[in-house]
Structure 1
Amino acid sequence: MAFFKRELSPVEIFERALKDKQAARRKLDDRLRVAEQALDERRNAAETLAKAGATNLQLDRTEAKMRQVEDKAKALRAALAECDEQIVLAERGLGEAVAQRDRDKAANEIEAVASAIERAVPGFEIGAAALVDAVTRSKPVMSEATRFGGDVDEIRREVLAMAELICWELRSAAVRTRAGNANIALLAPPEMKQLPAPETDRQMVYTLSPLTWREGEDARRAAAFTMVALPKGLLPAALQHQHVDYLNARRVQTLMHVHGGGQLQVEPDADDPALVDLDALTGEAQDSPQADVA
């Protein structure tokens, strides 16, 4: 009786290759551990002989044996590094094979839907034709029945055309999915989720003046001599006009000793004349290069 081996799938091939590489690495690691232990023993023996005043011949033999073990350990390290590279390649190949398997499964499901529609179309066509024939077969046909038969026949043609179109679209989607060029839902369109508003990129700084700026529709204010997370878009103008400084600046460290971190500072009023409008400073800084060019 003849026995036939089942052909392995790409995933199984990469899984087997990965297991073989991992097993080979464990063996190399064990051999390297033994070689390094032997190398340590050879080094200790050479050191002992050298301290004991051994002859040159004894030292030469010991050094030769030590170099031999050292070369073996070096070769094992190189083989282990190469094996690690092969494991990385095998893991990458396995991941790609798994992804392709999943894509093929999704494409097969899409093609199955198209095939089911194609198998159902002849039955629908026969049923619609029978319904039209039943209405229009007798001689005394009323106008309502004739109109109904015409409507059924028109619907039949529309359904057949739509079935052909949807089957073509499904098979095209299956081809794109199998090639990895599509990210589509199988049965329903994905729900539109509202993306959260992007967070403002900020920099923690120490204020040297009372500040105000706007973030969207909100007006923000910060007292002088306090730590604040300032939007980075406002930072260049604030630094240029000496209204803020970085936390690691020397003068900031002195001011923090005097005023503290500013957690207890009261937010300034909106009509405080000492308030510095950072939005206005940033606008002036952006307009000045244009004026220079003009």
Structure 2
Amino acid sequence: MARPKKQTVDYFPHIANSGKTMFILESKFGNDGYAFWFKLLELLATTDGHVYDCRNSSHWQFLLAKTHQDDESAGKILDLLADLDAIDRELWNSQVVWCQHFVDNIADVYKNRKAKAPTRPTLNSFYDKKPEQSDVSTSKNEPEQELSAQPTNRKPQSKVKETKVNKTKVEEEHSDVNVHRFYQDNFGMANSHITQDIEMWCKDLSNEVVMLALKKAIEKNAPYSYAKAIMKSWANKDIKTVEAAEAESLSKSRQNNFSSQSTSRSESLPKWARDDYEPEKDEKVSPEEEAEYKAMIQRMREAKGANG
């Protein structure tokens, strides 16, 4: 029997000029998104047939360990990759990772081997085999790999996209990306901590309210911490719409103006004319002031005697 031909590769091209996938991944997840993508490609390179089956519990746990991500974070990154068509949407809905672009980039390897490159699996009868057996036919007369949507071993919270194929959710994610891009355009590249912080505020408030806080920081030429303080204040007051946030900012501005005017008026009055004035007790008088005071009394008396 002929020995099966190898369907893994030891290397793959790393394009220097990254496209929209890498830009959006980094905008949303920082360096974690960058690292996750290339570690996933490494797994695809070394997995037979370049298909990674996340339905298999051990495969999924290995992916989490390799990328240093938890179950939920890894699911979100893979969901975004599917939205961006970086991985196959239909297959990812069944928790299987296939990247046609990756296979196309390594096509020359299979040409040199004089072998047919692996082809995209289908969703019909893959579970005639075990989930981890995703080997691919190399015969031109045999069909593509076949997969079926059998329940996965993954934890429930990681199956985000199985119920998230609707347009509304996709639009929300892209709106979230726009907040991160706005930050990057105006404050610079966000680290993973700030990226996660912004994502948290977008969930607690809204994308529009977070954007408004960032704009107010820019108006003051202030850092991100200024915007964060504003968002904390709004959250404490349960403000979650742009209209309510603007009304709160206007009210606060008016209070600050009134306080400033009151302070200015108070400072312009002499000490004795202020409402809070209290005469000083046991005030000491210098000898010079005492002599001047006596002389003034003497002059007043002399003037009174002359008029009398």
TM-score, length-scaled by structure 2: 0.23
Structure label with greater radius of gyration: 1
Hey, which of these two has a bigger chunk of strand by percent? Answer: 1
> RCO higher in 1 or 2 (8 Å CA, sep ≥ 6)?
2
